[in-house]
Chains A and B, each alone.
Chain A
Amino acid sequence: MSALTDDTLPITPRAMRDEMVAFALMAVLLAVVPLTGIYPFFVMQALCFALLACAFNLLVGYGGLLSFGHAMFLGTAGYVSAHALKVWALPPELGIIIGTAAACGLAVITGYISIRRQGIYFSMITLALSQLLYFIYLQAPFTHGEDGIQGVPQGHLFGVFDLSKPTVLYYVVLAGFLAGFLLIYRTINSPFGEVLKSIRENEPRAISLGYKTDQYKLLAFILSGTLAGFAGSLKVFVAQNASLTDVHWSMSGEIVLMTLVGGLGTIFGPVVGAFIIIAMQQYLAGYGQWVTVIQGVIFVACVLTFRRGIIGEIARLLRRSL
């Protein structure tokens, strides 16, 4: 059986340099967006999904665990943050912390349950768990069911930055995205990340070398879920609402699609994939359900012909690590 990402290059000084250059390029490009007149709401939304896809990719691309329920972290953090901001009137920084902490707690519980099975069963279990949460949120009073939590106030971050100004909000979201991205990058290249990759390649061997693989997988799951929750909390400030859409299975599917299009197990792939999928939804919004059909076609095309994804293919052509 061939692994999900079988041609990751070893870390060399050259690879590190390439990745640093690419990161600097990405940061500069994103930093000048407000000066170009591109609709900032679109980019902010894409950045939240990019962070979400990167968090998902940490688990699937490096840990080999395909979660089909990552929307549950997005939605949980979103609901808790929105509730904290609107009902408890907490300041934005506390709202983000509480939302992310809720996703972290959820990741501890769901991770403990789902890593008991591997491969395809893991995917089915995470999907079922997120559907369980969907029904809970559908019935829980604080989520307001089908209406969701709407009109969430944005407030002043640290009492200084007025988040209702689009430019200020943009740079706050960008800072959050870059911080999360660097944390994931650091994790991948840490000793922990190396053990994770070895588990993906050959779990029995990792066990025989003395690693407690379940603990590594659980930690990766928690980290991934927490960061996905962080993205969900940031998204509340952009969209100013939290709704059932964010917990639905179709959202989990979109997260998978973004990462697959960009490239599973590549560092920058999920970011590129998120921008492509969000842009596609934006431009094709008038075509109703055909968007779903197109997403399905992209899934099929990616799996049959394009398994490395866009960044994966570019990296292979250039023989570089991206």
Chain B
Amino acid sequence: MQALYAQLLVGLINGSFYALLSLGLAVIFGMLNIINFAHGALYMMGAFCAYFLLNIAGINYWWALLIAPIVVGIFGMILERTMLQWLSGLDHVYGLLLTFGIALIIQGVFQNYFGSSGLPYQIPDALRGGMNLGFMFLPIYRGWVVVFSLVICLATWFLIEKTQLGAYLRAATENPTLVRAFGINVPRMITLTYGLGVGLAALAGVLSAPINQVRPLMGADLIIVVFAVVVIGGMGSIMGSIITGFALGVIEGLTKYFYPEASNTVVFVLMVLVLLVKPTGLTGRAA
């Protein structure tokens, strides 16, 4: 049973990353109509940013949690202003192709300087060690990742669904022209939205740095799994993305325990099943 709980925890952690990343993809898709293929590369940049902060500037994990998403978010906003904004009005496919190219550039540059092996990132002192819960041993850092991700996901949900700013955002998603006519600067909102989505990816990168090591290709395969998560959950609802992300992580964890050979493929197999039964995805509207 110990092993089962351990795999469940690993599943919850992967689920946190799926949720944070698919949440960002959904927010970006809503405003920009772009599937951000660079999301995995920006997640990786978040982890590297934390690594540089610690090893070059001596800035610790807690500040990295704040600084890395801001730095990568600003980088994302520059990308949006210089490149992505020129794609409005074109077929959605061009957004995918452009961000795929950006991902290749970012990953290629990092691979040139850091190879393909992983760089270690220390768990901060306050989160070292573990707790004995009676039925299992819980490494504190892993528990922290799950709880903190959940809080961030719910905060994002609250920001978009319950605040004034979120209301503008949702309105601009539905009808940008009309919202502009009310005097709201929609292009600036689009830029900030992209920065927010990218910042969430970078935050996931910082959280994963002590667990998965910091590697140039850490986001390359992850983003494909997240695409499958997005296909399963649909991008119509924020809460849908969060729940689907965590649920699929848990299912993947359970697969690791009961049938490890299929743990890499289970999310894709589930995607196929969902497409066969309900082609629009579990929560999404038809695209």
A residues in contact (CB < 8 Å) with B: 1-4, 66, 68, 113-114, 116-121, 123-125, 127-129, 131-132, 135-136, 138-139, 249, 253, 256, 260, 288-293, 295-300, 302-304, 307
Contact = CB atoms under 8 A, between A and B. Distances in A.
Closest 7 CB pairs of A and B: A299-B101, A296-B104, A292-B108, A296-B105, A293-B108, A132-B268, A116-B279
B265 A298 contact: no
Contacts of B230: 124
B93 A293 contact: no
Interface stretch (B81-89, B133-141, B159-167, B197-205): B81-89
B104 A293 contact: yes
B216 to A, nearest CB: 9
Contact of A292 (B98, B104, B261, B272): B104
A268 B275 CA distance: 35
A296 B112 contact: no
25 contacts: A1-B90, A3-B91, A66-B96, A116-B275, A117-B231, A123-B93, A124-B231, A125-B231, A128-B231, A131-B224, A131-B225, A132-B272, A256-B100, A289-B109, A290-B112, A292-B105, A292-B111, A293-B105, A293-B108, A295-B101, A296-B102, A296-B104, A297-B105, A303-B97, A304-B86
Contacts of A300: 83, 98, 101-102, 105
Contacts of B242: none
Contacts, number: 135
B275 A2 contact: no
Interface residues of B, number: 46
A66 B227 contact: no
Nearest to B92: A120
Contacts of B268: 128-129, 131-132, 135
B111 A289 contact: yes
Given A118-B287, A121-B231, A304 B83 contact: yes
Nearest to B264: A135
A296 B19 CA distance: 27
Given A1-B90, A299-B101, A302-B101, 13 more contacts: A3-B91, A117-B287, A119-B92, A121-B231, A125-B231, A128-B231, A131-B221, A135-B264, A138-B264, A289-B109, A292-B105, A292-B107, A292-B108
B29 to A, nearest CB: 8
Interface of B: 35, 83, 86-87, 89-98, 100-109, 111-112, 220-221, 224-225, 227-228, 230-231, 261, 264-265, 268-269, 271-272, 275-276, 279-280, 287
B96 A123 contact: yes
A1 B89 contact: yes
A132 B269 contact: yes
Contact of B275 (A117, A118, A135, A136): A117
Given A120-B35, A128-B224, A128-B231, A307 B94 contact: yes
Contact of A124 (B220, B228, B279): B228
